[in-house]
Amino acid sequence: MNASNSYSFLIADDHVVVRQGVGMILKELFLSAVVYKAATFNDTFKILKEVKIDLLILDVNFPDGNSINILAEIKAIQPDVKILIFSALEESIYAMRYLNAGASGYLTKESSEDEMKLAINSMLSSGKYITQNIKDKILDSYISKKPTNPLEVLSNREMEVARLFVKGYGNLEILELLKIKKTTVSTYKNRIFEKLEVDNLAALIKIFQLYHDETA
């Protein structure tokens, strides 16, 4: 909260309507809110360097890049800024990754106005906001261990196979290349999917992209 006793927000989203819509909700919640808006990463960084922000509402789907490590960059500039991810992606898999990477809240664009307000309030008071859904997931996987890069959980062989899948090879090609049986390939595929908590190739590819593995 700044000197004039009102919260400062930064809405970073590439769509005007979204910036407007979120801005409106913010104004409804806090009459005196100071609301900054950014349409690109560059703008986002620029503003973060200039003014102290209490809450950054961030859509990670920018045209000028969107890998997960920008969260670290943001924190490097303003370590205390609270980040609420506001994404059009289904929370399930992605939320955890963003939370691990430095965000302290995750909200989907499908959320109702009430939930959005709840989330914003919660971020300001307790510094975080997580849906029950995600809390459950956290219990599941946080309790054990949390590798920074999810791909680390794969064994060497699994990684080998995963790369081939991401490159577009089918089971038959992989079986051929590695000289193993088709059921073995399927077994790996299964373990890979389980470990990374995905259930289809498209999601696997996204993870590889997110964690910028050259092979993608």
Is 16 a binder of DNA (CB under 7 A)?
no
Q: Which residue number, 46 or 157, has a Cβ lying nearer to DNA?
A: 157
CA 30 – CA 169 distance, rounded (Å): 53
Other Cβ atoms within 10 Å of 190 Cβ, number: 10
C-alpha torsion angle, residues 156, 158, 159, 161 (rounded to 10): 130
Which does residue 49 bind out of its own copies, DNA, none, counting CB within 5 to 8 angstroms by kind?
A: none
* C-alpha 23 chain-centroid distance: 21
Report, in Å, the least distance between residue 85 CB and DNA: 18
Out of its own copies, DNA, none, what residue 167 binds, judged by CB under 5 to 8 A for its kind, is: its own copies
Of residues 176-215, those binding DNA (CB under 7 A):
178-191
Residue 66 in the binding site for DNA (CB under 7 A): no
- Rule CB under 8 A: which residues touch its own copies? 14-22, 24-25, 61, 63, 88-89, 109-113, 116, 165-170, 199-203, 205, 213, 215-216
106 forms beta bridges with 85
C-alpha to C-alpha distance for 192 and 123, rounded to whole angstroms: 34
**With contacts defined by CB under 7 A, how many residues of the chain interact with DNA?**
22
Q: How far is the CB of 205 from its own copies (least distance, A)?
A: 6
* Smallest gap from residue 203 Cβ to its own copies (A): 5
Backbone φ and ψ for 51, nearest 5 degrees, come out as: -125, 150
Instruction: Give the up-direction half-sphere exposure of residue 31: CA atoms within 13 A in the CB hemisphere.
Output: 0
> Residue 75 in contact with residue 81, Cβ under 8 Å?
yes
Please report whether residue 6 would count as binding DNA according to CB under 7 A.
no
Residues of this chain that bind DNA (CB under 7 A): 145, 155-158, 170-172, 178-191
